[in-house]
A = this chain, B = another copy of it.
């Protein structure tokens, strides 16, 4: 049962297909009588014009831009997305934005394949997800320009670089500079699949600093779990129950840092008096809550990624964007010198 076409409608209404076309585009003058008959036939058959065919015959080349990202529900991705929107702005005619929300690694490859096979995209922005050689080829073959925002850039494609390891070092160095020697890490479970390893990378920065200052690495001070405020809360509770507990916590994201803080407070301790807490991201929320954190310029990175893509697509209209500022330590009220 394929969907009805104007041909079917024409047959049922006893008219030519041209007339049907006129009716659905309510252009030209069609006699009121035949118009009614056509409309009736459309009703009866449940006819819906096929937009793809319509586009082809009208010669419109869809100018859509895609964004592939995971975890769209995280604030950090939302803020990046905001930057993307800013970059697209309000050109006339505008590019439209198609969101591809990757929820499982297995689906990622399927999704890219689907995009290259059937999406009508001018360009694609891939956020914090790896781009394999095959995917690069597939994208190029289908004429889709792409840019990645990534921790693992290389020269084989345009890419806005992030540096999770280095930025994490910034955070932990801050704690060390405050005199802390007993520092814990709270983050996401390390992924074994082919996602980028944000938590691994930030944990790597954490380890580097410990090593650099010859501080002991204690596995029981590294807590990994699902992402989220409540999960971080639970992990921190366990952390505080240890015989020897840390005096500072580096949480791999601001949302998790807020969970850490709640747990510390609920344990009858004070932040930063008893325990210092530093987060990562600098989402908008963090300014409101006074959280010390690492600013990774979320909005700017999204904007920059999209600007890079636009520049690729239309060099005359969009100039090459400025590079991303380096991650920056933002000291607020949740870290203090070791007593």
Which A positions have Cβ atoms within 8 angstroms of B? Answer: 3, 24, 26, 47-56, 58, 60-62, 64, 72-73, 75, 78, 81-82, 85-86, 88, 90, 93-94, 96-101, 103-104, 107, 111, 114, 118-121, 141-143, 258, 284-285, 288-289
> Contact check: which of B3, B26, B58, B119 meets A51 at CB < 8 Å?
B119
Q: How far is the CA of A3 from the CA of B114 in the complex (A)?
A: 24
Residues of B within 8 A of A288 (CB): 258, 285, 288-289
- Whether B62 and A90, one on each chain, are in contact in the complex, defined by CB atoms closer than 8 angstroms, is no
Q: Which residue of B lies closest to A55 (CB)?
A: B52
- Whether B120 and A103, one on each chain, are in contact in the complex, defined by CB atoms closer than 8 angstroms, is no
- Whether B142 and A49, one on each chain, are in contact in the complex, defined by CB atoms closer than 8 angstroms, is yes
Q: Which residue of B lies closest to A47 (CB)?
A: B143
> Contact check: which of B52, B85, B143 meets A49 at CB < 8 Å?
B143
Q: How far is the CA of A54 from the CA of B56 in the complex (A)?
A: 10
> Contact check: which of B94, B98, B114 meets A93 at CB < 8 Å?
B114
Q: How far is the CA of A62 from the CA of B85 in the complex (A)?
A: 23
Residues of B within 8 A of A94 (CB): 111
- Whether B48 and A52, one on each chain, are in contact in the complex, defined by CB atoms closer than 8 angstroms, is no
A273 to chain B, nearest CB (A): 20
Known: A58-B118, A107-B90. A98 touches B96 (CB 8 A): yes
> Contact check: which of B51, B72, B258 meets A118 at CB < 8 Å?
B51
Copies of the polypeptide in the assembly = 2
- Whether A120 and B72, one on each chain, are in contact in the complex, defined by CB atoms closer than 8 angstroms, is no
- Whether A85 and B73, one on each chain, are in contact in the complex, defined by CB atoms closer than 8 angstroms, is yes
Q: Which residue of B lies closest to A285 (CB)?
A: B285
Please provide the 9 A-B residue pairs with the shortest distance between their CB atoms, ordered closest to farther: A48-B143, A51-B120, A97-B99, A73-B82, A78-B78, A52-B55, A60-B118, A52-B56, A98-B98
- Whether B101 and A99, one on each chain, are in contact in the complex, defined by CB atoms closer than 8 angstroms, is no
Q: Which residue of B lies closest to A58 (CB)?
A: B118
Query: 14 other contacts beyond A51-B121, A52-B62, A78-B82, with CB at 8 A cut-off?
Result: A24-B141, A47-B143, A51-B62, A51-B120, A51-B142, A55-B118, A60-B118, A64-B98, A78-B81, A93-B114, A96-B119, A120-B120, A258-B288, A284-B285
Residues of B within 8 A of A3 (CB): 61
A267 to chain B, nearest CB (A): 18
Residues of B within 8 A of A53 (CB): 56
Residues of B within 8 A of A62 (CB): 51-52, 118, 120
Q: How far is the CA of A86 from the CA of B119 in the complex (A)?
A: 22
A142 to chain B, nearest CB (A): 6
